[in-house]
Chain A
Amino acid sequence: MESLSNKIKRKPWLGWVMFFATMVVVFLLGLLASSIVERRAEATYAYKPKVELAEFEPRNQVWGEAYPREYDTYKQMADTSFRSFYNGSAMIDMLEVDPRLVVLWAGYGFSKDYNQSRGHIYAVKDIHETLRTGGPTGPGEGPMPSTCWTCKSPDVPRLMNEIGVAEFYKGKWADKGEEIVNPIGCADCHDPKTMDLRISRPALAEAFERQGKDINDATHQEMRSLVCAQCHVEYYFKGDGKYLTFPWDKGTSVEAMEEYYDEAKFKDWTHAISKAPMLKAQHPGYEIHQTGIHAQRGVSCADCHMPYKNEGGQKFTDHKIQSPLNNVANSCQVCHRESEDELKKNVYDRQAKVIEQRDQLEVNLVKAHIEAKVAWDKGATEEQMKDILQDIRHAQWRWDYAAASHGGSFHSPVEIMRVISSGMDKAQDARLKTARLLAALGFNEEIPYPDIATKAKAQEYVGLDMEKLTKEKEVFLNTLVPKWLEAAVERENSWDKN
């Protein structure tokens, strides 16, 4: 066959055809490549509004200008009209509902005042108003440490960035009153540049690190629970620096955290009646949720508490974070095909059964505290009381782990019942030992249950001067708080001038 070069020598146009054909193919391939690159670059801009937000912008309304739908639903948290069977979005005076709590927390802030909480939007207002934070008259005053602010506001990461984390936790609650004014909101969970979920509080990341895990490896779906786990978890204030710490090093079960606290010889307070070294469970909502069937099936907090919402032709995450019982259609019924009434009944049934047992444990605990006091009064020695007090500590820790876990009886009813039963066992152990001790001390009679039918009676029984506390609070709210808010307005106005 004739060689190609000979052919081209004979017919030069053949060479030109080959030249142009190659050129066209390479040109088209290049065009395709550049189109792919272009469209990939497009993806990095798609679904990301180009808004300039400062790295630590704490003002939710400023974010709201860029994300009006999310912000609108966020603001709906101001609505406090929803009541479920036990809780809801309204503030409920839990000490009035259940005066036994006053005795269980005798000697601790929670016996002064404890309300079922309202939505995130009230976080700062409600911590100002609760009697637990007392009536400080200025910096360095008041009963609470600065650490109490940690979960209340997107001003917290801003301030931590300015003064450092350890420095933030130091000092009194009142020291930072004028710095922290915006209620829990956008910057607590979102990156201002990409809107991706991000961890803004160090304690959770530190707890992960101590467990040998890197929180940066979390998937998007895990992050939809982990941003909540920055606050809705068990924690304590470690050491003199009151460094916010999660007791997760041995695990997150009730026993694992109890062991952690026992080893650290940590106590939140000494009980005013029984003198037991007590633990106050915060709200291990995340830990308990992880043991439940919904978590095991891959359901995140946001799936039910912030379901998808339609508005016209738009879909977005409902930022009215609330009980799914107020929005069964968009939460439960995405997966469950039963009627709304049926689903609600399922939840209430579980809650009712758990509360029935929890109430019984409370009664036992109140008796255990009071009987321990009688033993002290009859001249029991510390050596004789040691075991009993440890049992009381463990029993009430279990009760509190269950009671404070926000929705635990729904999130993980079996685990909650297990915790309550083991608490029941510990409480009865304490009472048996006390009865034996009392008998040895020559006392063998029934100890009367105190009259704690109302909050007022219970508070009088544990020796609280409510009138004084209320008055202090009133002065604080009328003098110091307005000053804080004024200073905050001035600070925030100065940002806008720059």
Chain B
Amino acid sequence: MRRFFKKLLPPPKWRLPVLVLFGIFSGLAAYILYISNALSYLSDDPKTCVNCHIMTPQYVTWQHSAHREKATCNDCHVPHDTIFNKYFFKAKDGMRHATIFTLRAEPQVIKMHDPGKEVVQGNCKRCHGGLNENVSAINGTLETSKHGEGRLCWDCHREVPHGRVNSRSAVPNARVPLPQSPVPDWLKKHVEKQAESK
């Protein structure tokens, strides 16, 4: 084992440049973790979901709904069968979201994809199942709905909880806890002063 690591180590005369390079990489990676609020993605705080401001319509409609008091974003949108599955799904979904956001490929109206639908349907049942076990529609899954043999909860409960109007420009003046500007206060003040003196 030790020999394996030794092999990875660069020859002595290379040590310094490699150390510096490695430092640059780690620093850059740490900066990206910091600036992207990466640690917050481990939490269940709905604020995390407006790290990207394009989720504002979803956040604000949830915040005006009855689910606000009982269910966070994660309660519905990630699976809760096992903790491994929860974080696996979160990571998978998160990578997709991050990629699309970085490529600026987000659609004007954001809709759930099949894996997401399956998870949400499962979570509807997880909380509301007990009350609704005699309602035949509760047995619907993504599969049955695709084959026209059942429905998803929100096929009927269409306003729950985000409502039917959900384009990215649907909530022009929403007040949501968006992340603050990454520009430090002293710099902002400086810029303002500059603007004033013009």
Contacts and interface: CB of A to CB of B under 8 A. Distances in A.
Nearest to B177: A220
B35 to A, nearest CB: 5
Interface in B114-163: 163
Q: How large is the interface on A (under 10, 10 to 19, 20 to 34, 35 or more residues)?
A: 35 or more
B171 A39 contact: no
Highest count of chain A CB atoms <10 Å: which of B21, B64, B101: B64
Interface SS of A by simple majority: helix
Interface stretch (A29-37, A104-112, A461-469): A29-37
B182 A334 contact: no
A186 to B, nearest CB: 12
Given A313-B165, A316-B173, A29 B32 contact: yes
Interface stretch (A40-48, A90-98, A229-237): A40-48
A299 to B, nearest CB: 8
B173 A40 contact: no
Contact-residue size bin, chain B (C-beta under 8 Å from the other chain)? 35 or more
Name, among B14, B53, B65, B69, the residue most crowded by chain A CB atoms within 10 Å (CB to CB): B53
Contact of B171 (A25, A297, A303, A314): A314
Interface in B49-69: 52-53, 56-57, 60-61, 63-66, 68-69
Contacts of B167: 313
Interface string A67-88: 1011000000000000000000
B181 A44 contact: yes
Given A41-B182, A47-B174, A195-B173, A30 B65 contact: no
A307 interface: yes
B100 interface: no
A298 interface: yes
B178 A44 contact: yes
A67 B173 contact: yes
Interface in A392-450: none
B72 to A, nearest CB: 13
B108 to A, nearest CB: 10
Given A5-B14, A30-B28, A40 B35 contact: yes
B171 A316 contact: yes
A298 B14 CA distance: 62
B49 to A, nearest CB: 13
10 contacts: A40-B179, A41-B182, A43-B52, A47-B174, A47-B175, A195-B173, A195-B175, A307-B64, A310-B165, A315-B170
Interface of B: 7, 10-11, 13-14, 21, 24-25, 28-29, 31-32, 35-36, 52-53, 56-57, 60-61, 63-66, 68-69, 101-102, 163, 165, 167, 169-183
Given A46-B53, A48-B173, 4 more contacts: A46-B56, A195-B175, A313-B165, A315-B61
